[in-house]
Amino acid sequence: MTINKKISLALGIIVIVVAGGTAIIQNMPSKQNSQIASVTTNQVTTNATTTTSTVAPDTYTLADIATHNNSSSCWTAINGSVYDVTTWINQHPGGQQAILSLCGTDGSAAFNGQHGGQSRPASELATFKIGTLVQ
């Protein structure tokens, strides 16, 4: 084996280990994520319970959504529906920042601008729906 092939082999293995290892580590289900999911579920339950006395179940105002404006609890309103996209932050193919920028806001314009007319993102988004937006 020539020296060039040895260098090629060594560099290739390094690239595969670093890039593949990073991907594996990033996709490992962490304890923190499961805790966040648990907290979010509890918050959804609590909010649904407290709001039933005043408004219809599973309806939220922009003020409600604004309280879920971080990576621990990320809600957004898109086209009149409310979504809890906390677990999607780390999974979004376009990067975390795109989702984090929507937390606690009406993300209709951003979503429609990026994915308007695409059926797959819309069906993916539908899985995160927790209610509807009221004024």
Partner 1 sequence: MKRLPFFAPIILRLGFSAVFVWFGTTQILDPIAWTSYMPDFIVHITGLAASTLVVWNGIFEVTMAVLLVFGIWVRPVAALLFLHMCGIVASVGLDSIGVRDIAIATGLLAITLYGNDIISWHYIPPTPPESLTSKIITS
Contact positions vs partner 1 (CB under 8 A): 4-5, 7-9, 11-12, 15-16, 18-20, 22-24, 26-27, 91-94, 114, 118-121, 123-124
Neighbours of 105 (CB within 10 A): 17
- The smaller minimum CB distance to partner 1, of residues 21 and 52, is found at 21
* 40 and 33 Cβ atoms separated by less than 8 Å: no
- The smaller minimum CB distance to partner 1, of residues 9 and 55, is found at 9
* In the complex, minimum distance from the CB of residue 22 to partner 1, in angstroms, rounded to a whole number: 6
Residues near 121 by beta carbon (within 8 Å), at least 6 away in sequence: 111, 114, 115
CB burial of residue 102 (10 Å; 0-12, 13-18, 19+): buried
- The smaller minimum CB distance to partner 1, of residues 57 and 95, is found at 95
* In the complex, minimum distance from the CB of residue 111 to partner 1, in angstroms, rounded to a whole number: 12
Q: What are phi and psi of 39, to 5 degrees?
A: -60, -45
- The smaller minimum CB distance to partner 1, of residues 49 and 79, is found at 79
